[in-house]
Amino acid sequence: MEIRRYSVVLGTITLYPLHISCKLVAEASWIEGNISFTQKEFDLLSFLLARMGRTVSVRDILHEVWNYPEGVVTRTHTTHIGRLRKLLEPDPTNPQLILSVRGVGYKIV
């Protein structure tokens, strides 16, 4: 079994073997090279990692990451989760890192 380590400290995320630091452009260093994130992708990933192992509601994601007021109906989070999965998951169609919790939201495991 592979041991994964995660932490969020002052704009830096370590997701073993992934290391992400937020500068002018959010960028991740992985064994194979670098991954560039948009600012919103980085914000969403940081938000989820700070709550790792816990299910985060779509409402909380929209409020905290996008600053949307309660009651806003949008699917923007779905698009961004999909982009993160394409960047981070070995098989984005069968996610193992960013999981959907049906009827509630998402969680990172």
Q: Give strand pairing partners of 107.
A: 99
Q: What CA–CA distance (Å, rounded) separates 76 from 69?
A: 14
The pLDDT score that the predictor gives to residue 12 is 53
> What pTM value is reported for the model?
0.73
Model pLDDT, residue 95: 93
Tell me: pLDDT of 15 over 70. no
Q: What pLDDT, on the 0 to 100 scale, is given for residue 109?
A: 86
Helices (H), 1-109: 39-49, 58-66, 76-88
Residue 6's nearest CA partner among 77, 98, 87 is 98
pLDDT tens digits along 41-99: 888 998 998 888 999 999 999 999 999 998 888 999 999 999 999 988 888 999 988 99
Please tell me which residue, 36 or 13, carries the higher pLDDT value: 36
- The fold of 6-108 is Arc Repressor Mutant, subunit A (1.10.10)
Q: Is 49:15 a contact under the CB 8 Å cutoff? A: yes
Residue 102, token pair as written in the block: 């049906």
| pLDDT tens-digit series, residues 25-36 | 344 444 455 677
Contact predicate 62/49, CB 8 Å: no
Q: Residue ranges of the domains in the chain?
A: 6-108
Residue 10: predicted pLDDT:
37
